[in-house]
Structure 1
Amino acid sequence: MVNNLATQLREGTSKSHSMAENVSFVKSFLGGVIDKESYRKLISNLYFVYSAMEEEMEKNKIMNLLNRSITELNRNLELDLEHYYGSNWKSLIRISEATKAYVERIKMISNERPELLIAHAYTRYLGDLSGGQILKKLPRAMNLSDGKGLSFYEFEEVTDEQEFKQNYKRALDSLPLDSHLADNIVAEANISFTMNMKMFQELETSFSRIIIKLITNWFSSIFQPKVSQA
């Protein structure tokens, strides 16, 4: 059975995709403007999301439905978290409110409509694969001269990005589903985009506070009265 789920997902989430890219934090991120504190909060949030998503997909055999193609996207979140937080990173990271809601959504649909996990896999995996090229700007932005701390966006098992995407889309189009289920998967993908946006908006607030603090410190260092020496 062949459907056009890949096309339906692309067209049906185009508005949500555009809205997500226009969140201020994401625009800064895609432009290579980000600080280490915001980035490490981002990957700690993603760790909770991916842990839940991959656990539930494995439990419900969703990876098998996609011919295990998504397992080629080798994730290295734990390496990055150890780089930014240290060896005891698991005791230091905290799940944010928006991320908690995201994880709860993943677990809920896993119990009630596990086939909808396909939508979350589509939103996150293909988005991160596409973002990998953009994030080559980040080592300079965050002064990562040794290149460490960005393992999450190194896709060692994907030798040809375009070929992988085409294979992934063919896997989506070969899924045995009817038009009603396809519509539900597209609807869930839009929910996934919304939950990602809320997670980014939390980071946007944190990022704004950091920028304000940096600007304040900069002004203080310039205009602070010098103490005259006798």
Structure 2
Amino acid sequence: MVAIFADNDAPSIVTALYARTKALHLEAEKTGFINEMLHGRASRHGYALLLRNLHPPYREIEGGLERHRNSAILAPMARYRLARTQAIEADLIALCGPNWADQLPLLPEGEAYARTIARSADGDGSRLIAHAYTRYLGDLNGGQIVRRLLEKSLGLGPRELTHYDFSAIAEPTALKTDYRRAIEAAGAAAPDPSAIIAEGAVAFECNIALSVAVQLHLASEAATRAQ
């Protein structure tokens, strides 16, 4: 792989992850439930099902970062306690009530995604960088567009969209810049950047698989109701 350098001539893990996952990112936007959501065709129930299956992956990212918060590699990222797991729980309560975990199934692809992240936290935990890049920078970038789409297409309000609200932590644009720098610092300290870049592709593949699974599950539910 050709090295990609930032302005200070240090390897840029963010740029390398972007280059490796660009095609997968485009595929994800055209696939499964995410495609429906981006075209304003999502249902409230479908969005809740997606969130329910993102809950374990976020829990594993945040648990892994917490375990490695004093490491030389992940400390710059771990100090940002973004708490998206709690935000997703709040959204699910607003969408479905306190018994959301009983009402919405955890799909095999959601479980597999969480297991993949748990494995990435093994050893020095550096492969977690790829999952934090995929989810958190995604939430701070395209996630803000998704929030506006969901407001318009589903009429969701702030109580149901706290997943995309970082205002209690910092102004989102500043947070995006600061968190990107934290990822760069973590990547520069990691002994094997190529493993992080490869994990970035795995992260997007997990997202695509989950998106397809959510859409298939919704179709199966619709077919059952039609019988």
The question of a shared fold, defined as TM-score above 0.5 by the shorter chain, is answered with yes
Give deviations 1:119-164, integer Å, cap 9, x for gaps.
10000111122222332122342244x5542221222146544433
Indicate if the aligned counterparts of 1:80 and 1:152 stay in contact, CA closer than 8 A: yes
Give deviations 1:95-124, integer Å, cap 9, x for gaps.
210011111111122224511001100001
> Does residue 194 in structure 1 map to residue 205 in structure 2?
yes
Tell me the residue number matched to 2:148: 136
- Distance in 1 (CA, whole Å) between partners of 2:34 and 2:104 is 21
Tell me the residue number matched to 1:8: 16
Tell me the residue number matched to 2:5: none
Indicate if the aligned counterparts of 2:46 and 2:214 stay in contact, CA closer than 8 A: yes
Aligned amino acid, residue 100 of structure 1: E
- Distance in 2 (CA, whole Å) between partners of 1:72 and 1:108 is 20
- Distance in 2 (CA, whole Å) between partners of 1:43 and 1:79 is 11
Q: How does 1:151-230 map to 2 (within 5 A)?
A: 151-157=162-168, 160-175=171-186, 176-177=188-189, 181-209=192-220
- Distance in 2 (CA, whole Å) between partners of 1:167 and 1:66 is 10
- Distance in 1 (CA, whole Å) between partners of 2:60 and 2:78 is 20
Tell me the residue number matched to 1:37: 45
Indicate if the aligned counterparts of 2:28 and 2:35 stay in contact, CA closer than 8 A: no
Tell me the residue number matched to 2:114: 103
- Distance in 1 (CA, whole Å) between partners of 2:58 and 2:80 is 16
- Distance in 2 (CA, whole Å) between partners of 1:123 and 1:45 is 16
Indicate if the aligned counterparts of 1:83 and 1:148 stay in contact, CA closer than 8 A: yes
Bigger CA radius of gyration: 1
Distance 1:211 1:28, change over 3 A: farther
Aligned amino acid, residue 60 of structure 2: A
Unaligned runs of 5+ in 1: 218-230
- Distance in 1 (CA, whole Å) between partners of 2:85 and 2:60 is 16
> Does residue 77 in structure 1 map to residue 88 in structure 2?
yes
TM-score by length of 1: 0.79
Indicate if the aligned counterparts of 1:48 and 1:103 stay in contact, CA closer than 8 A: yes
Root-mean-square deviation (CA, aligned residues, Å) is 2.8
- Kindly tell me the number of residue pairs found equivalent between the two proteins: 214
Kindly state the Cα deviation for residue 92 of structure 1 after the two structures are TM-superposed. 3.9
Aligned amino acid, residue 149 of structure 2: K
